[in-house]
Amino acid sequence: MTLSDGKEVRRTKAIHGLVSQKELSRQQPAEGKPLKFIGDFEYPGPKQVQFWLDDGKSPGRYITVFDYFKMKYKRTLREYPLLNLGRSDKPTLVPAEVIEIQPGQSVKARLTMNETTAMLDVACRSPYSNALSISTDGRKTLGLDEPGLNRFGVSVDKNLLTVQGRILNVPMISYLGKDQRRTDVGPINGGWNMRGIRVVKPGVMIERWTYLNIMKRSDSPIIEVSTMKDFARFLGTTGIKIKETPVTLGDGKTFTSSERAMSDGLENFFDRAKNNRIQYIIFVLTEKDSQGLYPKIKSLGDCTYGIHTTVVTSKHLLKPNNFMYYANVGLKINLKAGGVNHKLREDISLLKDGKTMIAGYDVTHPTNMPAAAVGTREAPSLVGLVASIDQDLAQWPACSWEQHAKQEMLSGQLVDAFGTRLELWQKHNKGQLPDNIIIFRDGVSEGQFVQVLEQELPSIREACRLKYPAKSGGPRLTIVVSVKRHQTRFFPTSVDSMSESGNVKNGTVVDRGVTQARYWDFYLTAHHALKGTARPAHYTVILDEIFRSKFKANAANEIERLTHELCYLYGRATKAVSICPPAYYADIVCERARAHRPEIFDVSDTDSVSTGTGKSVVASRQVHESLKDTMYYI
């Protein structure tokens, strides 16, 4: 950035609230007269900013911040930038040199490399180490061995609470063999591989696709057409329909020497791709993405041009025979093309008749974003909603939208959004609407359960009322709240119930001992944790119109089994995931919606978007019409 004395310095986003002449000059003040600027500086100093001074003792006049401090405080300011400690429409300008930052404050920003390493070292401790730390160091920290407690008759057991758990059966996974017949795979430790097998159903044929090397330096290693042919040829062996030879657009590379060059290069490439009827673009990064390329690519591809995109790194493509990486990328491509990667051998009992839709939605809020950088009232919360459309539970089209910052409960927009999910189900199921709808609501706390039932459930029922015939009575609903961010952990009590990493075995469910009497809840560890202590997902059934009526006394077992088996249907991986896909996908949709708004949510270390004083830059971003009914977000 350029200071008022003409000096060029690198601005980092660890310094927030710098006065921006561009932003303040176009913002009308909430009261009083507007600021005046002397000269044209991106970040003006005390001699370049004038404000209206009217102290009631003398006629009002404009005065510079420099002259005001000299007159009022007998202090001569240096040419350092000004900080705005107020809002953009009601600024409070303070010279940087008179501000003292108190130590010990938490910083809402990304961790440094060393901090991240230290955090991961603790997170990756063995389950035994964590259990021992809780029962020894934890007791000391909490003062549970203090002699004063005994005088009041209070004692705390030195051992962790022991509860009963069960290990659910692992479902068999189905693919196609080379002879086009069904091939079943048995997961081991929650995972399996695709060696020698094919996806269940390929998506639409990708006839026209291309790729682009994105380079920082001209001597960076690039991916040649021959490598991309090998990649496409491998995808063909897995049953994914993609033409072997990519369409060549120019020399297949662009440079990112500056942000402007990067933006121009990307937009020009998308223009050419659109004109050449390209269906899919693979962007190859030759180095780690430190310039925020990913959100720019996704914003252009998903919203502006309507072209599916995948971002990969050249080092993985250049590695010889890296077929596992090829397969992982191929899974994403097939899902975006509308395909089915794998399915369960045995249909989930409730889904056998094809009359049950499963949905999931989540709300994410601005995090690690200082209020001075964007302003809590401007940066929106983002909602992601997904719903199944097929009996295999492979395709989950999504929609997303904005709502007021830090607002967890969904507004009336849920009516229209949920209605579009019903329309998609109807379109893919011979014009029929589902008899049952199971909804996984992600991320709300226990104190918000009633709000979900009082504020969100009526919107869902209204969406159903508008779509279902009046005489049908509408679908039966079940709402399950899924939570991953909690502090409950389980440790095995014997070697027989222990995984290779020292955790409880995948498929472990606990529905007594630590659950609550007033709620129907359970903890499920569906995944296999390789390091650290496995964190189970916590599920709470807050509304049930399906399971009790259909399965009677076995209702709890059935919903636990359904949730567990759903975890094996995460389409872009060959392993069970820690939280069921409806909730997982909804969270990914929110992250993609965040990527669609880089001008708001860019919190990289280096400055790329100037938002020094909380200027409202919220812009609604809708997914392109050609992609909105696909798994564009995967």
Residue by residue, what is the 3-state secondary structure of 387-402?
A: ECCCCCCCCCCEEEEE
CA angle 554, 560, 563 (to 5 degrees): 140
What percent of the chain is predicted at pLDDT more than 90?
A: 60
Highest-scoring range by mean pLDDT, 102-116, 279-293, 572-586: 572-586
Model pLDDT for residues 257-277, shown as the tens digit of each residue: 566 677 788 999 999 999 999
Give 38's pLDDT tier (boundaries 50, 70, 90).
confident
Q: Which two tokens stand for residue 553?
A: 């006394």
Q: Where in the chain is the domain with CATH 3.40.50.2300?
A: 202-337
Give the 3-state secondary structure of residue 138: helix
CB 239 within 8 A of CB 226: no
User: CATH homologous superfamily for 202-337?
Assistant: Response regulator (3.40.50.2300)
| CATH class in words for 343-370+378-601 | alpha beta
- pLDDT above 90 (res 369): no
3-state DSSP assignment of residue 451: helix
Least reliable range by pLDDT among 86-90, 366-370, 502-506: 366-370
Question: Could you give the CA distance from residue 337 to residue 627 in angstroms, rounded to a whole number?
Answer: 10
The pLDDT of residue 330 is 97
How far is 387 from 397, CA to CA, in rounded Å? 6
Where along the chain do the CATH 3.30.420.10 domains lie?
Answer: 343-370+378-601
Highest average pLDDT, of 128-132, 135-139, 212-216, 308-312, comes from: 308-312
Residue 53 has pLDDT above 60, yes or no: yes
- Say if residues 274 and 300 touch (Cβ distance below 8 Å): no
Angle subtended by helix axes 413-428 and 457-467, to nearest 10: 50
Query: Rg (Cα) of the chain, in Å, rounded?
Result: 28
pLDDT above 70 for 5: no
- In DSSP terms, 480 is beta-bridged to 440, 541
Could you tell me whether strands 253-255 and 166-167 are parallel, antiparallel, or unpaired per DSSP bridges? unpaired
C-alpha dihedral sign at 234, 240, 245, 251: negative
Q: How high is the mean pLDDT of the chain? A: 88
State whether the Cα torsion 388-390-395-401 is positive or negative: negative
Q: Is 189 left (phi over 0), alpha (psi -120 to 50) or beta?
A: left
Mean pLDDT along residues 27-56: 80
Residue percentage of the chain with pLDDT more than 70: 88
pLDDT tens for each residue of 428-465: 999 999 999 999 999 899 999 999 999 999 999 999 99
